[in-house]
Amino acid sequence: MPWLEIKNLMAFYHGIPVIHGVSLQVGRGDFVSVIGSNGAGKTTLLRSISRLVTVKGYIGFDGKDLTRLKPTDVIKRRIIHCPEGRLLFPNMTVYQNLMMGAYLLHDKEKINSGLERVFEYLPILSKRQTQLAGTLSGGEQQMLVVGRAIMGRPKLLTLDEPSFGLAPLMIDAIIDVIQKLNEEGLTVLLVEQNAALALEFSNFTYVLEEGQIISQGSSRELAEDPAVAKAYLGMT
């Protein structure tokens, strides 16, 4: 049974649809990616799940419909979104930003065990706890976004282009953490323009073009599909 199930999704800005009937599934424990170029609708898809845009269709998580929920109710179901552009609070410290990720939790023990988990996976954040988030490097900021998400005790982690603008070594470090979290059971939905990265690390991939899924399959198979290789991996 799918853990996240999206059926015939349409998403709108000012009444104009930009997602046109997308259906996709993410099983419990899966690492699924959605690849697509600029403006394909990747961010809108994740914002639909987080209930930040107007939608039609069905978005179910663990058998329950999310479409009528408020964004905070989605977070309460522990679907945690790492937004595009690393939206942090730049004038707050690393520690304070992490605590923002736990703002719906009231149990001190859960918060403390979350912090321990973050520092175990992302030791750099432990060293930078008192530093202002705005003074971190791009890679460290992305780590903080992931750390903040972990503080929300996600069941499903959605990631919007975590590799964007980062040096290759930093991308490796980030994907390594995501992969470890997935191996320990966290369900991951990644949207990426960096198709090579997404295809390498996810189990299953959907290709999104102009708000529609044009192809889908196991990531290994898709990476070998000549049409995908040509359009998304720059191969001729």
Ligand X SMILES: Nc1ncnc2c1ncn2[C@@H]1O[C@H](COP(=O)(O)OP(=O)(O)OP(=O)(O)O)[C@@H](O)[C@H]1O
Task: Decide: is 38 part of the binding site for ligand X (CB under 6 A).
Answer: yes
Phi-psi region of 89 (alpha: psi -120 to 50; beta: other; left: phi over 0): beta
Task: Decide: is 41 part of the binding site for ligand X (CB under 6 A).
Answer: yes
Pair of tokens at residue 65:
């419909």
Per-residue binding letters, 140-169, with ligand X (x by CB under 6 A) = ------------------------------
Query: Out of 36, 101, 139, 152, which residue is the one contacting ligand X (CB under 6 A)?
Result: 36
Choose between 118 and 161: whose C-beta lies nearer to Mg ion.
Answer: 161
CB of 49 to ligand X, least distance (A): 12
> Given the rule CB under 5 A, which of 27-35, 76-84, 138-146, 181-189 is the region that contacts Mg ion?
76-84
Task: Decide: is 194 part of the binding site for ligand X (CB under 6 A).
Answer: no
Q: How far apart are CA 163 and CA 148, in angstroms?
A: 17
Instruction: Using CB under 6 A, list all residues that contact ligand X.
Output: 13, 18, 36, 38-44, 84, 193
